[in-house]
Structure 1
Amino acid sequence: MGIFKGIATLTVGALAGAAIFAGVNAVRGAGEDAPAFDKVGDYTSTAKNVVRFKLAPSNDKLAQCMPKVKVDVAVALETDKTGRDVFDVTMTGAPPKTSFTVFLLEVPGAPFGAAEYIGDVNTDQHGKGKAEFKLIVEEAFSSTIVGKDRVRKELNHVGMWFADPKDDDFCLGANSPVTPFDGDNEAGVQAFNSAPSLPKAPLP
């Protein structure tokens, strides 16, 4: 595992139990114990060139298993000034002593489209985690050859995966899917995403 500041393009098929609107469903249909993400996807600038938004559990089941989780993202857009942006993730109420991989995504839910692995967030024994990544965010994109043409895809969404395939077993059971969203090509399911920001993307 690690931080890749280059662009990695992943083309993946639909994964079991996920859907593009899964995050929206987690917010709207998880019941009274669901995270209070009433402003998920809305971001405001508290300082010049800073955007803030929240990620939601990727499906109803995960929302029920993590009723107190909150995932806040703040991005300081500093590329013009320093040559890179600053991407901060803060988590509370998450599973303790768990690693999550973080990706910039073309689409927040399956099949995700182009993706860039930017780093990991690790929680402590209290389920709290924080990480800061310095990379291009506002102008992040993937570029690959499709047929004879070079195709560009914008990476304006965010998703987080359980880094270890076993880390989602507490909620989904021992037979939950193994996905390729980690540096060793083995991860659990997507845990959180920015789908509630649809139809617009949270990142400019």
Structure 2
Amino acid sequence: MKPYIKRAAVILGTAGLIIAVGGAAAVATSTRHTKTRFQMVRSTASENAGCLNGAKVDVTIQSKGQVEVMRIRASGLPKNTDFDLFVIQVPNAPFGMSWYQGDLDSNAWGWADGTFVGRFSVETFSVAPGSAPAPVVHTAEPTVRPTGDASTNPKTDPIHQYHLGLWFNSEKEAQAAGCAAGVTPFNGDHTAGVQALSTKNFPNDQGPLRVIQP
């Protein structure tokens, strides 16, 4: 290569590096994020019981504009165990407004992989402009479920929900994993076990879903 050609290449390469670094800085300082990755950790109930010590849960959320795609990959879970995933207001009890997102079931090696499509962003919220009749599908039964369906909803202004919580699908499965006993309403028929994992590694009002802009 002739000297002047080599020098030009070095100048162009330096200019490209400056552009690349500048672009990275712009992304780093932007308040708009269309993708995030974070971990769920053992819930307070799991820590208190000393269970799920080897659990590792990685979550990625990618905005598609109209919806977000959330993928959860977990390992170190109790094998062949069913869990229920909720989007929640705060990560610890009393959890606040919560909505049932779907199931996450581990296999014979304690791995679980789930993909969920919905609104998992700064716009995630619940609202009830007024009270209205609600269908009662499940009633409280002392030996089955302590909490049944409400027949009406309370009026509430918009409440954002930016956290995730994962519950054992049953008290029996929680106890088999060495976790605490107790029946909670966090599954389809309100007979779930205790919370297993959550995003309590984030502040109450700064849950990981909040960083995503649609």
TM-score in same-fold range (> 0.5): yes
Are residues 1:73 and 2:59 paired? yes
Q: Deviations over 1:6-58 (max 9, x none)?
A: xxxxxxxxxxxxxxxxxxxxxxxxxxxxxxxxxxxxxxxxxx71111111111
Q: Which amino acid aligns with 1:61?
A: N
Are residues 1:190 and 2:195 paired? yes
Q: Which amino acid aligns with 1:182?
A: N
TM-score for the superposition, normalised by structure 1: 0.69
What do you get for the CA RMSD once the two structures are aligned?
1.9
Match of 2:126 among 119, 137, 142: 142
In our comparison, the structure showing a higher alpha carbon Rg is 2
Residues 98 and 114 of structure 1: is their aligned pair in 2 closer, same or farther, counting only changes over 3 Å? same
Q: Distance in 1 between matches of 2:78 and 2:155?
A: 43
> As a proportion of its length, which structure holds more helix?
2
Q: Distance in 2 between matches of 1:75 and 1:172?
A: 29
Q: Distance in 2 between matches of 1:160 and 1:149?
A: 27
Residues 51 and 179 of structure 1: is their aligned pair in 2 closer, same or farther, counting only changes over 3 Å? same
Aligned 8 A contact 2:51 2:179 in 1: no
Partner of 1:61: 48
Counterpart of 1:108 in 2: which secondary structure?
coil
Residues 192 and 146 of structure 1: is their aligned pair in 2 closer, same or farther, counting only changes over 3 Å? farther
Match of 1:93 among 76, 100, 109: 76
1:77 Cα deviation from its structure 2 partner? 1.6
Match of 2:179 among 164, 169, 172: 172
Counterpart of 2:120 in 1: which secondary structure?
coil
Structure 1: where are the runs of 5+ without partners?
1-47
Q: Distance in 2 between matches of 1:181 and 1:137?
A: 19
Counterpart of 2:208 in 1: which secondary structure?
coil
How do residues 34-49 of structure 1 correspond to structure 2 at under 5 angstroms?
49=34
Counterpart of 1:203 in 2: which secondary structure?
helix
Q: Which amino acid aligns with 1:202?
A: P
Q: Deviations over 1:151-183 (max 9, x none)?
A: 11101000000012211113136xx11000000
Q: Distance in 2 between matches of 1:111 and 1:150?
A: 17
1:84 Cα deviation from its structure 2 partner? 1.3
1:197 Cα deviation from its structure 2 partner? 1.0
1:149 Cα deviation from its structure 2 partner? 5.6
Q: Distance in 2 between matches of 1:146 and 1:160?
A: 29
Q: Distance in 2 between matches of 1:130 and 1:172?
A: 22
Partner of 2:106: 123
TM-score for the superposition, normalised by structure 2: 0.66
Q: Distance in 1 between matches of 2:79 and 2:41?
A: 18
Q: Distance in 2 between matches of 1:111 and 1:95?
A: 25
